[in-house]
Structure 1
Amino acid sequence: MPPSFLIMQKRNLSIAVIFSVIVLASAGGLIYQRSKKEEHNFEANVQARASHESPAKPSRATAPLPPGNTPFRLVADNLKARALKGDAGAACRLALEYQKCNLAQQQISHADD
């Protein structure tokens, strides 16, 4: 092969590599811009919702929660009703009790394996 042919092949390869880099950089830039736009839209949506929702109710004194050693089946309905009325302590306790139940079920299922 003549040397000019090899020079043209190297040149074409260089052009192809440069073109590929440009295309990949452009694609990366577009993806980055899109993710930034989606992040901005998400933040704007959260702010819009926050401004349209009613303000939080001031906390008020609530009845004490049942003792921690009370069986969950005896207090579940009470905690659920209080949580639905906005009692954060009851909601937290309810979540904790459900987590305990879930963990116990997982341990039982792994013990069977």
Structure 2
Amino acid sequence: MFGYIVTGLVAIEAIVIMGVEIFGSAPQQAKAFDLDESFVKIPEVKVLLGNQGVYNGLLGALIFATMFLLTGNQQILMLQLEMLFVLVAAIYGSLTATRKIILVQGLPAAIALLALYFN
């Protein structure tokens, strides 16, 4: 049960991040991603953030779809794979963008992955 709760929180977080990336104001985006506000106002950067937002939103939707449409071993396996995807992306993001990504995105995904493994 705990694994499903944390996994659901990871899905919600991905959708919230999508909201910031696509619909957030420049100050919100700059704060969230430790970037200069002038940088996130560049039209090409706004497009890149929006594109990244689509990926995050789709990942959140996929996690929820897996939780509600699959059952049994297939569900657990898919959720573990999705949490691994989030964890790998968080590791990469923490190495290339800002270190807080590993805590904000990676830690919940790692906890969910472990909880699902021991479910």
TM-score interval (norm. to shorter): under 0.3
Structure number with the bigger relative contact order (C-alpha 8 A, sep ≥ 6) is 2
Structure label with greater radius of gyration: 1
* TM score, norm. by length of structure 1: 0.27
* TM score, norm. by length of structure 2: 0.25
